[in-house]
């Protein structure tokens, strides 16, 4: 047992609350340590002195003054003066607490939403439009600024012809499903 | 306690809650000196201690319906008194800081309390009481509360644990440390 352990157990020893084994260990420490012995003796005396301190008493008119104040409080209670405003309870809580709890709840929900993984949009099948396949859109750079109408018309005509050779939209759609398994 | 009185504290508060004012007077008579002793040891001032006890017992009158028969009445009333005493000390501390800051150095030194006994005027017991009382005032509030409740009011550890609302083990440890600190403070006085 060291000094710290001794000090931790000193009150329990004085009050006779140490288990037998601990008490024997404590007394062994005391035997070999006269300073600890005198500390125990002094503490015992201190506790005893505190038990026997004179009891402070209230003054003689204490109860009279108290009853006067109680009478005033009773009158104020009847007339509603100084009466605390009582708020109705919401779910067992005062409105202030209920408000705080509600705010806290909203804050928790908002914060937890930030941590949810983003929902990935389901892969959507975009039916390939025949015109898009058939007609490579002319690049903006390929069109000269004057707008060669003749060239554009020719391109449109070509694409219309090519479209006739390709299956219809539904056919393409079915084909795509079969291929991708979607 | 139950053997000493016709009604227990809990029976009296129940009667008072039903409108029996005589039960209130009985509770006042039972607790006024006990609370006075507790408050005085805590704040070290007769007048302030009596004000604390007045306020505590007035609170018992006005807030009688707040008591629920799940705790001992003594626990409830000591909790109220303890809270009022702590509030009083905090007020005093603020006041003291203001006053000290407004004083000159010499005045400050003059105002500091002396613990020396005037030899021949005070008998040994009174001197010892004064020293213990002043040593108690050096303790932090959480130590002061538990040591007064245990070694002066002689309440059980369980009651103290309920009053200060901390676990039993913490109460035991605080009382032990408070005693050691008090012992050291008394040695320093001598």
Closest CB from A39, A50, A58 relative to B32: A58
| CA atoms of B79 and B95, how far apart (whole Å) | 24
User: Above 0.85 for ipTM, yes or no?
Assistant: no
Indicate which of B49, B151, B157, B177 best probes the interface with A, i.e. most A CBs within 10 Å of its own CB: B151
What pLDDT shows up at residue B136? 96
What's the pLDDT tens digit per position in B34-47?
A: 999 999 999 999 99
* Residue B142 parent element (H or E): helix B141-147
Per the structure block, which two tokens stand in for A122? Answer: 């389901």
Residue with the bigger pLDDT between B162 and A168: it is B162
Cβ–Cβ below 8 Å for B132 and A50: yes
Can you say how many angstroms the Cα of residue A47 is from the centroid of all Cα atoms in its chain?
47
C-alpha torsion sign, points B16, B65, B74, B138: negative
| CA atoms of B115 and B21, how far apart (whole Å) | 45
Per the structure block, which two tokens stand in for B126? Answer: 């009174």
Q: Are A37 and A30 in contact (CB under 8 A)?
A: yes
| CA atoms of B36 and B31, how far apart (whole Å) | 8
- Shortest Cα distance, chain B CAs vs residue A11, angstroms: 6
Residue whose entry in the numeric block shows the structure tokens 């694409």: A159
What's the pLDDT tens digit per position in A92-125?
A: 777 888 889 999 999 999 998 888 877 666 656 5
Facing residues of B185 across strands?
A: none
Locate the domains of chain A by residue range.
Answer: 3-51, 130-180
Facing residues of A90 across strands?
A: A93
Q: A74 to chain B: nearest residue by CA? A: B62
What's the pLDDT tens digit per position in B113-146?
A: 444 445 554 466 777 889 999 999 999 999 999 9
Q: Which residue in B20, B104, B29, B107 sits closest to B64, CA to CA? A: B20
Tally Cβ neighbours within 10 Å of residue B157.
17
- Shortest Cα distance, chain B CAs vs residue A85, angstroms: 14
What pLDDT shows up at residue A114? 85
Indicate which of B179, B185, B186 best probes the interface with A, i.e. most A CBs within 10 Å of its own CB: B179
Residue whose entry in the numeric block shows the structure tokens 């909203």: A106
- The beta-strand segments (E) located in A47-176 are none
Can you say how many angstroms the Cα of residue B9 is from the centroid of all Cα atoms in its chain?
20
| CA atoms of A64 and A57, how far apart (whole Å) | 15
| CA atoms of A172 and B118, how far apart (whole Å) | 114
Closest CB from B33, B61, B176 relative to A73: B61
Per the structure block, which two tokens stand in for B160? Answer: 């103290």
- The domains found in chain B, sorted by start residue, are 1-112 (1.10.1740.10), 117-190 (1.10.10.10)
Q: Which residues of A touch B46 (CB under 8 A)?
A: 56
| CA atoms of A137 and B186, how far apart (whole Å) | 100
């Amino acid at each position: 047992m060291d000094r710290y352990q001794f000090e931790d157990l000193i009150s329990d020893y004085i009050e006779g609350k140490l288990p037998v084994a601990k008490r024997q260990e404590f007394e062994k420490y005391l035997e070999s340590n006269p300073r600890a012995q005198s500390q125990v003796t002094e503490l015992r005396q201190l506790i005893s002195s505190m038990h026997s301190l004179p009891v402070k008493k209230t003054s003689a008119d204490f109860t009279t003054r108290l009853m006067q104040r109680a009478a005033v409080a009773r009158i104020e209670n009847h007339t509603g003066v100084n009466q605390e405003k009582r708020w109705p309870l919401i779910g067992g809580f005062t409105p202030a607490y209920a408000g705080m709890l509600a705010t806290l709840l909203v804050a928790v929900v908002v914060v937890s939403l930030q941590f949810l993984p983003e929902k990935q949009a389901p892969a959507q099948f975009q039916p390939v439009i025949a015109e898009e396949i058939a007609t490579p859109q002319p690049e903006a750079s390929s069109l000269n600024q004057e707008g060669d109408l003749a060239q554009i018309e020719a391109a449109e005509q070509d694409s219309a012809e090519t479209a006739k050779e390709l299956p219809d939209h539904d056919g393409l759609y079915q084909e795509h499903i079969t291929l991708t398994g979607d | 306690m139950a053997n000493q009185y016709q009604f227990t504290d809990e029976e009296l508060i129940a009667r008072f809650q039903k409108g029996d004012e005589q039960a209130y007077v009985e509770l006042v008579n039972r607790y006024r000196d006990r609370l006075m002793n507790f408050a005085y040891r805590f704040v070290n001032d007769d007048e302030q201690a009596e004000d604390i006890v007045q306020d505590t017992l007035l609170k018992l009158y006005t807030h009688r319906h707040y008591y629920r028969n799940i705790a001992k009445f003594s626990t409830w009333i000591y909790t109220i008194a303890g809270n009022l005493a702590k509030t009083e000390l905090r007020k005093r501390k603020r006041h003291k800081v203001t006053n000290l800051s407004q004083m000159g150095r010499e005045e400050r030194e003059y105002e500091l309390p002396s613990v020396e006994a005037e030899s021949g005027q005070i008998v040994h017991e009174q001197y010892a009481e004064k020293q213990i009382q002043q040593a108690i005032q050096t303790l932090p509030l959480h130590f002061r509360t538990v040591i007064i409740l245990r070694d002066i009011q002689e309440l059980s550890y369980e009651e103290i644990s309920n009053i200060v609302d901390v676990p039993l083990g913490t109460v035991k440890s605080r009382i032990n440390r408070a005693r050691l600190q008090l012992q050291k403070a008394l040695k320093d006085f001598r």
